[in-house]
Amino acid sequence: MSSTWHILGAGSLGSLWACRLARAGKAVRLILRDQQRLAAYERKGGLTLVEQDAQHHYAIPAETFDAPGPIHRLLVACKAYDAAPAVARLAPRLAQGAELILLQNGLGSQDEVAEQVPHARCIFASSTEGAFREADWQVRFAGHGFNWLGDPASPGMPSWFDDLHDAGIPAQWALDIPARLWRKLALNCAINPLTVLHDCQNGGLLGHLTEVDSLCDELVNLLHRCGQPEAASDLHEEVQRVILATAANYSSMYQDVRHGRRTEVHYLLGHACRAAGRHGLAVPQLEHLHRRLVDNLQARGLRSD
C-alpha cells in the first residue's frame, strides 16, 4: 500500500497538515479542484507555512481530481458541505480498503462521505488547532491545539499513525471519537451562531450569558437523548471557559459571514435540530436560534443550507 498522503483541500488545516508532513519527509500530494487552480499553485511553487513570523516554503507536488493513479490514504480537509461531492469525484481512484481522514466540522458530513465510498475506511477527526490563510497558498499557524482521530466502526489504530507524531502533529487515537465530535458540535452551537447574531467577538457573549445558558440546557438534554452523556458532562462550564479563553477571537462562523462565505450551519446547529426532531425532543431555544441565523444569512445573500 502506498505511503503517500493525498490531501484534498488546500485551505487552512489542509495546508497546515501538508506542510508539517512534508517537513518530516513524508510523501504528500495536494489534490486541487481544476487545471486553473493547479496552474496558479504551480506558478507559486508550493505552500508557505508561517510560524511565529518565520516563513518556510514547501514545494509539495499537486494534481487534479482526474490525475491517474490510485489513492490509498486521503486527508479530506475541505468544508463539510463540499466533502461528499468532492469524495464522490475521487471515488474511482480510491483503492479497495483506502483510508479517509475526515477533518470536517460538525456532524452529518461524515456519513454522507461514507455513503460515497463503501469500499473505504472512514476515520473521523476532531481538531482544536488554529490556522488561517493569509493569502493563496500561504497559511499561518495560529494556535496550538490537539487532534483526536478514531473510527466508530473499527477500533484498530492505523499503521500510519506514527507519521503524525513524526510530523509534530499532536494527535491521539480516540475510541470515544463520537463523544468528542458531539462535544465540539455542542460548543459550536452554543457560541458561534450568537457571535454572528450579536456581531461580536467570543468575549462579547459574556453580556449574553442567560441566552448561552438556556442553549446549554437544551444541548445537555439533546446529548443525553442521543446517547452521549460523556459529551454532556459539565457543558455549561466548558462553554464559559472557551468564551473566556478565546474572548479576543472571532468564531469561525463569524469569520465566514464577514468574508461572505457559506457557513457550515447545516452540519452544526442544523444537525442538532434535526437530531432533536428524530428523538422527539423539544428544543425551542435551539430552533429559534436556527431560524434567526438562517434569516440573518439569507438577508446577507448567503446560503443557509
Catalytic annotation present for 79: no
From the candidates 26, 44, 79, 184, which is the catalytic residue? 184
Angle at 140 between CA 136 and CA 146, to 5 degrees: 125
Amino acid identity of residue 116, one-letter, is Q
Q: Give the residue numbers marked as catalytic.
A: 184
